[in-house]
Amino acid sequence: MSNKIAVLAGDGIGPEIIAEAVKTIHCLQQDFGFEADLEYAAIGGAGYDQSGQPLPAETLEICEQSDAVLFGAIGGPQYDELPRELRPEKGLLNLRSSLSLFSNLRPAILYPQLADASSLKAELVAGLDIMIVRELTGGIYFGQPRGIRELENGERQGFNTLVYAEHEIERIARSALDIAMLRNRRLCSVDKANVLEVSELWREVVNRVAGEYPEVEVSHMYVDNASMQLVRAPKQFDVIVTSNLFGDILSDTAAMLTGSIGMLPSASLDKNGKGLYEPVHGSAPDIAGKGLANPLATILSLALMLRYSLQQPDLADQIEVAVGNVLDQGMRTADIAETSSSVGTSEMGDAVVAALRALA
C-alpha cells in the first residue's frame, strides 16, 4: 500500500535539507520497492507569504490526510515583527496540537565517527543511542490555573500547576513501551515521586501499563539522578519516558552529548503512531541559501518516520547504515568537519543516496 507523506519544507534552510530527504525517498522508491505519494504544502513564513497564515487550511488538510509529515524548519528575521498569531512558530505549534501529537521522540545518537564532537570523553559517548520520549501536550506548561497574582500584602506571586490525568500518563507510557519494543526493550521512567504527588500517580500508571509489556524491563529514576546519569554514563539508557518539563530539560542535555545539532532527528506522534518528523535544529537563516546546511538530521528524521509511522524498520536501518558509511568515507558538512575541507548540502545528500543504493 502506498504511503501518503506530507512534505513541509518551511523557511530558511528548510527547502535545502528537505530536498535531500526527498532524494532519499526517491532512492527508496527506485531501488527498494518503497511506495509513497508525496504532497507538498507551505508552512511557517512560507505559509504566511502564500496565504497570510503560518498554517494554511490546505496544509492542515493535507497533513490530516497523510500517514506522516516530513518537516524542514520554520522562522526567519523577516517574520519577527509579525503579531504572535501570525509568526512562523505558531504554524508548527498549531499543527502539533491539531494533529494531537503528544509523544515527542528525541533520540540522542552519536555516530562513533563523530565522538570527538561531544563535550564528554569519547569512550563515554561513542556509539550512544538513546531515545527520550517526552510528553508534549500536558503537564506544567499547560496546567491551569496559572498566572501572576497579587497577594494581600501587595507582593506579587507567580504560579503554575503541574497536572497529569491518568489517561495522559497511560498514553505516553504506552507510546514509550511500544518504542522500547522496537529497540532494546528497556524503559526508564523519570519522575520526582519522592516529592510530587503527580509523580506518584505517574509511577503507578506507568507500572500498570508496563504490565501489558512483559518483555520490556521497566525501571524508575528520580529526575535529579537522571540528569547526573545522563552525563556520567549515558549509554546505560535505552528509552527514557518523562513529563513535558523534565523531558524538555533532559532531551537538551542528551542532545548536547552528541555535539552537533545538524545530526539530530526528532518525531512527534499521536496515539495511532501517525507522526511529524523534523530535525531538532531551526531554519538557520545565517547559512540559508548557501548550500552549507547539514541534511543528515532531516534524512535521519525520515528513518524515524519509516520505523515509527510507516512500519518499515528495515528501510530505517538501511538509511542509518548508509549515513554511517558516508561518515566512514570522511564526508563532513562544515558543522561537523574537524578540518577546513567539507562538502555542501547536496553533495552530502548524494553521498547518502549512493551509499543507500550500494546496500540495495
Q: Which stretch binds ligand NAD (CB under 6 A): 125-133, 179-187, 195-203, 289-297?
A: 289-297
Min dist. Cβ of residue 153 to ligand NAD (A): 40
Q: Please confirm, yes or no, whether 141 is among the known catalytic residues.
A: yes
Establish if 285 lies at the interface with ligand NAD (CB under 6 A).
Answer: yes
Cite the DSSP H helix spans in 71-196: 88-98, 122-125, 166-182
Q: Could you say which residues in the range 203-232 bind ligand NAD, by CB under 6 A?
A: none
User: In this structure, what are the phi and psi dihedrals at residue 313, rounded to the nearest 5 degrees?
Assistant: -60, -30
How many other C-beta atoms lie within 10 A of the C-beta of residue 109? 19
Question: Among residues 60, 293, 310, 327, which is the contact residue for ligand NAD, using CB under 6 A?
Answer: 293
Nearest to 314 by CA among 352, 359, 279, 270: 359
User: In this structure, what are the phi and psi dihedrals at residue 5, rounded to the nearest 5 degrees?
Assistant: -115, 120
Q: Please confirm, yes or no, whether 317 is among the known catalytic residues.
A: no
What is the DSSP-derived secondary structure letter of residue 2? P
Catalytic residue among 37, 116, 224, 328: 224
Establish if 262 lies at the interface with ligand NAD (CB under 6 A).
Answer: yes
- CA dist 119 and 117 (Å) reads 7
**Residue 3, SS3 per DSSP:** strand
Catalytic residue among 141, 178, 222, 317: 141
Establish if 286 lies at the interface with ligand NAD (CB under 6 A).
Answer: yes
Cite the DSSP H helix spans in the chain: 14-32, 45-51, 57-64, 88-98, 122-125, 166-182, 197-210, 223-232, 244-257, 296-308, 313-328, 345-359
CB of 125 or CB of 284, closer to ligand NAD: 284
Establish if 281 lies at the interface with ligand NAD (CB under 6 A).
Answer: yes
Q: Could you say which residues in the range 311-340 bind ligand NAD, by CB under 6 A?
A: 335
Q: Please confirm, yes or no, whether 252 is among the known catalytic residues.
A: yes
CB of 199 or CB of 266, closer to ligand NAD: 266
Residues assigned a catalytic role: 141, 192, 224, 248, 252
- Residue ranges that bind ligand NAD, judged by CB under 6 A: 13, 17, 73-76, 89, 92, 261-262, 278, 281-287, 293-294, 297, 335
